[in-house]
Structure 1
Amino acid sequence: MLLFLYNILLPIALLISFPVYLRRMLKRGGYARNFSQRFGRYSKEMANRFAEGGWTWIRAVSVGEIGLALRLIEELKRQSPDFKAVISTTTSTGYALGLQRRANRPWIEVIYNPIDFYPIVSLCWKQIRPREAILIDSDLWPSFLALAKAHRSPVYLANARLSRRSERRYVKLRSLAQTLFWRNVTSLFAQDQGDAERWKRVGVPADRITVTGNMKYDTDDLASGINSRFSVWLQKHGINVGRPILLGGSLHPGEEDLLLSGFKLLQAEFPQLFLILVPRHVERTREIAQLLRARGVRFALRSEPDFQDDPSILLVNTTGELRDWYSAATVVVVGKSFYGVGGQNPIEPILAGKPVVVGPHMENFQYIVDELRTAGGIIQLHSADALVPTLADLLRNPSAASSVVARAFKAMAHHQGAIRRTASMIINERVKQDQDPGHESADWRSS
């Protein structure tokens, strides 16, 4: 009954929200490409590949989750050579990154997430015919989960996190969540013990929860600033290797202005300082470029690297490169933490070996930020007023900056191998299913 009501109310909610959604699509751009996939319409070539069977459906909302899904897929492929994956995403930037990374990987398909209306998801399910589903960071949708249950396809929540705010919401709706979500989840791989306890409190059975560590913080994938391809790229364009670089990553509105103001103040002591701005949403490039012009500063675009006027600022207007840009930096400021709520992933720049500064709003990453702050592995500021003196201290004292990074690595050591552990548990479950005919999903696995 709840699922029926959900599917009655969903079209109404979509109609009401359509104007807002349309404005967002037009602003961000890129949504027109393969838009019909959101309604379960695929090209003939893609449908033929789906018909081969044996696919695993992996849902990843946006760019960050896509990157994580691809790392998990590579490990699953290493452990099980016949592994094939369909990655579905919601945003145009995530879709573009998925297509870019699937090059020369015929065992990966990339599609848009379908609208979670039962007839639409059912149409998708019949074409993709997944043997299992993996949801990255708890991308939960009632119709999708119900169809997985109907076809006896296991559902795994990988890198599953639950914020305190979401916990409070689920506790209030415990019986509803139990019916629409938890009864349809096969296994949940929690990021840490705090997340595991929260999942238990909202109704997920304890025997379905395993703490595997946070895949985003898996230091097996440690980057090296020395070998950064963008360090080489910057040198090619005249930015000397010894020049200090301040990078703002995943920036939200207002944070570019904050960094620009701080940058100008820092230049008095560090005249060679170079600033790299990487907005969270690339469609904001024009807005940020206008801000820079209004401030009278010279800058270059990543897509149009004109360094003839010796600009001291680079605006990155491309997607899927942030992790590599981190490796080129001296100090990193993580966005959505000064202006905005929730913050962004602070671990990728730490894995690149860089000291990280964040603002007061890191609610979506509070557990790991608390862990890092206690260890002295991250610098969290209570207000933007402390940003300039903090950055000056880090630029002035390279050894102190290195100590921050070393303490961060030590604090994150227990997350090492999270991707391998998650993949192993999924593959082990798959082997059990293959050995037990009772787990065969509806009539297509052998077709």
Structure 2
Amino acid sequence: MGFYRLLLTLLIPLLTLMGLTRVARGRETRADFWQRMGVAPGGLETGARSIWLHAASMGELASAESILRLMLARDPELHILITTNSTTGRALAQKWQLPRTQARLAPFDTRWAAKRLIRAWRIAGLVVMESELWPNRLRTVAQADLPVIVLGARLSRRTARGWRRFTWISRPLLADVRWLLPQDKGSRRRFRSLGLSGDRMGDVTNLKALYTPSGRAGPDEALRNAFDRESTWLAASTHPGEDQMILKAHRIARESWPELTLILAPRHVERAEKIRGLAEERGLDVAQRTRHETCETGGVYLADTMGEMPVFYELARICFVAGSLINRGGHTPFEPAAHGCALLHGPYTSNFREIYRRLDTSGGAFQASTSKDIADLLLELRDGERRSSLAHRSAEICAQSGSPEPIVARILSLIAA
């Protein structure tokens, strides 16, 4: 640990210069810079207490939303400090508008920055998401006799091999963890092999399975009126290589179902203009969310905003879960299923292998590998009864995957101990 601290100390001038460069180029504000340096103002009044939840960015943070909402409901005196490595993650937390919650950029992993946050925000415990195990942060919290909790912990084979070579970091790191919830069986085995005892580990839990619609604002009236949900399908979180296949499938299906409308939501919104060009090359009418354009029936609505996926789930009855037509492992089926979407997906589903296996074998989702496959399934789901039946089955199977209640109860008991 001493070498890690020395190395980080030597890197601080470089990190500071990088931060100032981002400010000079307009990528971040001065307030962002001071948050990363750990010296931005803010804190809680005497008597209050906070849970500090840290996540890397939007994806990791999104899986914690149901847990955060339930914690705040269960303990009306509790405050939450959310830190993220990215400005997009912070923006997502701010968009939730949770009561008694503040969101900031995470400071660099120095002990003095962690101590300052603990004092200023009256931290009662640290919850970290997935693989955000920063040594100084964890050690500082643990030495203050506060619980360190890891949710959705992920440890790949490659990372585990590295940890075995650098036990001078991994051993004290795991010693600081009070409770860890692994996200898959492989991660659980690897954490055990590195010395984390079974009594400090919970059951294997995929946090994305705990998703429930939050009840926050969905589509406004004008947007909802612009789409007939029963003849709208959504391609959610597409990657390069998938957009062309989705657009081709839409063209094929529309020949027999002319009123079918596509909402295409790219995983990375900066690709929107390129996707628009691909659609126009194929003779498709395109409307773009950020341009405030109105989508024509049978056209393509380019959903190029961040943090609005629940809005688009509410506008479409059929959802093709992307990241699965190419080898990206597929994205979550739990969110679209919870919003009443009938599920389609591609062959690459390693990120959610077990739930997709259950969906496919129990009639809760259909798999497609080509544009024609997708088009054929869309036309099969033109039948309203068939479409409703699949959406119901999708929701039913995904809802069987767990509840945030036991997790929240354990967290609250640990910070109260």
Task: Report TM bin, short chain.
Answer: 0.7 to 0.9
Alpha-carbon separation, structure 2, partners of 1:189 and 1:275: 38
Q: How does 1:15-26 map to 2 (within 5 A)?
A: none
- Larger RCO: 1 or 2 (CA < 8 Å, sep 6+): 1
Alpha-carbon separation, structure 2, partners of 1:255 and 1:27: 33
Q: How does 1:227-376 map to 2 (within 5 A)?
A: 229-230=218-219, 232-237=221-226, 239-242=227-230, 244-307=231-294, 312-339=299-326, 341-376=328-363
1:391 counterpart residue number: 377
Kindly provide the CA deviation profile for residues 388-414 of structure 1, in whole angstroms up to 9, marking residues without a partner as x: 345335423444444444444444444
2:398 aligned with 1:421: no
TM-score scaled by length of structure 2: 0.84
CA distance change for structure 1 residues 407 and 213 in 2, over 3 Å: closer, same or farther? farther
2:160 aligned with 1:150: no
1:58 counterpart residue number: 53
Amino acid of the structure 2 residue aligned with 1:130: I
Structure 1 gaps, min length 5: 434-447
CA distance change for structure 1 residues 41 and 222 in 2, over 3 Å: closer, same or farther? closer
1:217 counterpart residue number: 209
Amino acid of the structure 2 residue aligned with 1:284: R
With 319-328 and 174-183 compared, the bigger mean Cα shift is at 174-183
- SS of 2:259's partner is coil
1:67 counterpart residue number: 62
Amino acid of the structure 1 residue aligned with 2:145: R
Amino acid of the structure 1 residue aligned with 2:73: R
Alpha-carbon separation, structure 1, partners of 2:270 and 2:17: 19
Alpha-carbon separation, structure 1, partners of 2:372 and 2:30: 43
Amino acid of the structure 1 residue aligned with 2:180: L
The number of equivalent residue pairs is 415
With 87-96 and 29-38 compared, the bigger mean Cα shift is at 29-38
TM-score scaled by length of structure 1: 0.79
2:105 aligned with 1:98: no
Alpha-carbon separation, structure 1, partners of 2:208 and 2:77: 25
Alpha-carbon separation, structure 2, partners of 1:123 and 1:29: 26
Q: CA deviation at 1:27?
A: 11
Amino acid of the structure 2 residue aligned with 1:64: G
CA distance change for structure 1 residues 6 and 399 in 2, over 3 Å: closer, same or farther? farther
Q: CA deviation at 1:181?
A: 2.8
Q: CA deviation at 1:17?
A: 10
Alpha-carbon separation, structure 2, partners of 1:326 and 1:119: 43
* Cα RMSD after superposing both structures: 3.7
Q: How does 1:426-441 map to 2 (within 5 A)?
A: 426-431=411-416, 433=417
Q: CA deviation at 1:35?
A: 3.2
- SS of 2:381's partner is helix
Alpha-carbon separation, structure 2, partners of 1:343 and 1:32: 37
CA distance change for structure 1 residues 396 and 140 in 2, over 3 Å: closer, same or farther? same
Amino acid of the structure 2 residue aligned with 1:272: E
- SS of 2:219's partner is helix
Amino acid of the structure 2 residue aligned with 1:204: L
Alpha-carbon separation, structure 2, partners of 1:230 and 1:214: 28
Alpha-carbon separation, structure 2, partners of 1:308 and 1:397: 23
Amino acid of the structure 2 residue aligned with 1:266: A
Alpha-carbon separation, structure 1, partners of 2:178 and 2:185: 19
Percentage of identical aligned residues: 25
